[in-house]
Chain A
Amino acid sequence: MTDTFQTSSAPRKASARQSINRFYGWAGLVVMGAAIVHVIIVFALPSIGRAVLIETVIPPDETVPRLYTFDAGEPLPNFRYADARTDSVYCSFDLRDGAVRVSGDVEVPFWSISVHTLSGLVVGSVNHNAATGGRLDLIVMRPSLARDLAEAGAELPRDSLVVEMDGPIGLARVSGLATYEALRPQLRADLAETECMPATFTFTRFEDTPAEIEEEEAPLRRLGPPSVPQPAVRPNF
């Protein structure tokens, strides 16, 4: 009897220990898997959360900078908890096509430009106090392009503020607050005339070789490294 009891209880104890070990293994794998899923979702949320923004404000196949106008109080399903008293225009852009220039001249007590990533975060912002001659001028570009432009000796427009942004797709918002109703028609007209276009640069050479001096008389040619979008030469600002 005693022998029978001992032989039958030993496997039962081992089985209980195995079950506990198996549970700990199961729980450990669940926690590790949950941590991975948690991190994936947290990092993916900015893209998922802005899917609507891409489709309606920035269409998927839209690559050229484009201006969208919204009047104060107009329902904006994509921008929740917005200030309903300011009038705004939005400039969507894709920096894979080069830098984008946003500039405007608005005459109200307060106006500003802010640059946002796809997830909505602010990369840079300026208000009317930084305006030169009443005009705010912002150039948004990727850091790699900024480096290439510097190496190529590009001259940025003198009164432009440069905002560097990693993410290629973004949004610039130009907002103005009309403190009197009488100011609103002009504010809306000014905002509608906001510029939102690919930025262009002029290039200078670091050294003048005899061959280059000869070229002074020749028509202007496009310069710059291959990675820089070939610029149209414009008068320097």
Chain B
Amino acid sequence: MPRFLWIVSVVLSAVVLGASTAIWATQTLRPTGMVKVGPWEALRAVGDTAADPYVHAFIASSGQLPLGSAEGVRFIAWQTNSGRALVANCSIQVSGTVDVGRLWTLSITRADGTAVVLSGTGQAGLHSQDVVYNADGSFDLSIGPTPDALNAVLLRSPAQLSLILSVYDGSISNLAEDSETALPQLSIDRTRPGCNA
């Protein structure tokens, strides 16, 4: 009986330890080839032959269908440059330039990755020709309950969001991880109620 219990404890412990480390490695750890520019993250190599099993597992478990190298790059941001959660009620500010490609789209998704369709336009985001640019080529966009910038997406939601920046006809092959100005900066209005936590 003790030997039986000993074997059961070995099997159970191995299954629990193996499963938890596998889930941790594929969902918490970022796979090799992940580029991080400020709060924006993108997978540099998603080719079938180049990808290691952890990249396969990461993409499969995240439910993404990534862009190919001939298409462009998809960046995802879950937080602001200062590490704050992206909450529409806190008025998300997107400002700067997109230097890595000529055409881009910005989609707003919920925490589970599904798109938020904007009630005013019926669209689920905007693209590079939807925004009004400043004289220096940069743009300012606010996503929140009130129009706080020249470009505004009116959205009232207390839930945490993520932003998807898809850059087409562009490349990040020469993009250094410290070149944060190549992509827009993200911030929230911390003076709003409940946004300073």
A18 proximal to B (CB < 8 A): no
Known: A26-B9, A29-B14, A83-B107. A120 touches B114 (CB 8 A): no
List the A side residues contacting B168 at CB < 8 Å.
110, 112, 127, 177
Contact in complex: B18, A83 (CB < 8 Å): no
A49 proximal to B (CB < 8 A): yes
List the A side residues contacting B56 at CB < 8 Å.
45-46, 119, 121
The one of B57, B126, B127 in contact with A42, judged by C-beta atoms closer than 8 angstroms, is B57
The one of A34, A121, A129 in contact with B59, judged by C-beta atoms closer than 8 angstroms, is A121
- What is the interface of chain B, defined by CB distance below 8 A to chain A? 6, 9-11, 13-15, 17-19, 21-23, 25-26, 46-48, 51, 53-57, 59-71, 74, 76, 103, 105, 107-109, 112-115, 117, 122-129, 162, 164, 166, 168-169
A237 proximal to B (CB < 8 A): no
Known: A33-B14, A119-B59, A121-B47. A86 touches B68 (CB 8 A): no
The one of B46, B47, B69, B115 in contact with A73, judged by C-beta atoms closer than 8 angstroms, is B115
- What is the interface of chain A, defined by CB distance below 8 A to chain B? 22, 26, 29-38, 40-43, 45-50, 72-73, 75-86, 109-110, 112, 114-117, 119-127, 129-130, 165-166, 171, 173, 175, 177, 179-180
Could you list some 28 contacts between A and B, CB below 8 A? A29-B10, A30-B14, A33-B14, A33-B17, A33-B18, A36-B18, A41-B23, A42-B25, A45-B57, A46-B59, A49-B63, A73-B115, A73-B125, A81-B62, A81-B76, A81-B109, A81-B162, A84-B117, A85-B105, A115-B68, A117-B48, A120-B65, A121-B46, A121-B47, A121-B59, A121-B66, A123-B48, A125-B71
Contact in complex: B105, A37 (CB < 8 Å): no
| Measured CA separation A147–B47 after assembly (Å) | 22
Least CB distance from B172 to A in Å reads 15
List the B side residues contacting A46 at CB < 8 Å.
56-57, 59-60
- Ordered nearest first, which 8 A-B pairs have the shortest CB separation? A125-B68, A37-B18, A33-B14, A80-B113, A84-B124, A73-B124, A49-B60, A80-B63
Nearest opposing residue in chain A for B49, CB measure = A123
The one of B47, B66, B123 in contact with A85, judged by C-beta atoms closer than 8 angstroms, is B123
Contact in complex: B113, A123 (CB < 8 Å): no
Question: Which applies to chain B's interface (DSSP): helix, strand, loop or mixed?
Answer: mixed
List the A side residues contacting B117 at CB < 8 Å.
73, 84
Contact in complex: A80, B112 (CB < 8 Å): yes
| Measured CA separation A26–B4 after assembly (Å) | 13
Nearest opposing residue in chain A for B163, CB measure = A81
The one of B70, B74, B105 in contact with A126, judged by C-beta atoms closer than 8 angstroms, is B70
Least CB distance from A110 to B in Å reads 5
List the A side residues contacting B62 at CB < 8 Å.
80-81
Contact in complex: A83, B74 (CB < 8 Å): yes
| Measured CA separation A119–B65 after assembly (Å) | 9
Contact in complex: B6, A42 (CB < 8 Å): no
Contact in complex: B129, A49 (CB < 8 Å): no
The one of A41, A78, A81, A122 in contact with B48, judged by C-beta atoms closer than 8 angstroms, is A122
List the A side residues contacting B59 at CB < 8 Å.
46, 119-121
Interface centre among B25, B26, B162, B168 (most CB of A within 10 A): B168
Nearest opposing residue in chain B for A52, CB measure = B63
Nearest opposing residue in chain A for B65, CB measure = A79
Contact in complex: B22, A41 (CB < 8 Å): yes
List the A side residues contacting B76 at CB < 8 Å.
81
List the A side residues contacting B67 at CB < 8 Å.
114, 122, 125
| Measured CA separation A38–B60 after assembly (Å) | 16
| Measured CA separation A188–B156 after assembly (Å) | 30
| Measured CA separation A86–B69 after assembly (Å) | 17
The one of B10, B51, B109 in contact with A30, judged by C-beta atoms closer than 8 angstroms, is B10
Contact in complex: A112, B70 (CB < 8 Å): yes
